[in-house]
A and B are shown apart, each in its own frame.
Chain A
Amino acid sequence: MVGLNALSKFFRKTIGPRIEALGLLPHRYYLHRALDALEQDNIDEAVRMLTLAGNDKKDSRWRLICQQVIFRCRVLAAQHEKQLRRFETEMEIFGKPAELVGTYLRLQNAEERAQDILRSYESSLLNQLSSSKSAPGRAD
């Protein structure tokens, strides 16, 4: 029992991420990790896990989780868009006070950057989804 626990801890802390990155672990492991990442809104990790799982096979489960991540990307991007519009409205209402213009612009840039990142994840996953459709015999 001690050996199993120690091995598990050792694996997770040392060679685990490296083996994970090689895509050698079972397909379901990556799907499981993608769902964990989605739950925590860690989209980068979810996309990475889905890409690794997709290298093995793109089955119906993979397609559904992929679409879940795309949906979440869209929801988050919409939230950032709303925030951006709020900043613009506030700037119009308060007449762009000099001391706040810099802060507003920085916030606007951050929101735009977040949207760009989410859109790039979305398009990457949409590409993978479309390739899974066109690849015959890969989906179950």
Chain B
Amino acid sequence: MTAERKLSIPGGLTGALVGLAAELALEEITGMELVNGLLAIIGAGFGLIRIDRRIYEATVNLIKRVPVEPNSDYRDVLQQIDEMSLELPELRESFVKLVQAGMEAQKA
């Protein structure tokens, strides 16, 4: 009893073209960017869901944005990070995990 589904490429293309034309026409009439607006809303939604990914990226960015003197080596930078992460146990743990992951990646 299941109806056989047939996909039509010309039908799909026509639909996309009509959709694009409708969007452009609405944008011209109303002056609002529909697709951008929708993408912004969808993006914000995903941002809320994928908060852990964003926290991880922020941790990586924090390390990247630590200023490094031209004549300093990695031990100076580590010491600087160590001093600045005093009383911040969870962040320190994240930094350690990042360093370990980096070392394992280098070994591999």
Contact = CB atoms under 8 A, between A and B. Distances in A.
A118 B105 CA distance: 36
A109 interface: no
A65 B87 CA distance: 14
Interface in B25-58: 26, 30, 32-34, 37-38, 40-41, 44, 47-48, 51-52, 54-55, 58
Contacts of B38: 1, 4-5
B87 to A, nearest CB: 7
Contacts, number: 81
Interface residues on A, range: 20 to 34
A126 B44 CA distance: 29
A67 B90 contact: yes
A60 B41 CA distance: 26
Contacts of B85: 67, 71
Contacts of B66: 75
Interface of A: 1-2, 4-6, 8-9, 26, 28-29, 31-32, 35, 38-39, 60-61, 63-65, 67-68, 70-72, 74-75, 78-79, 126
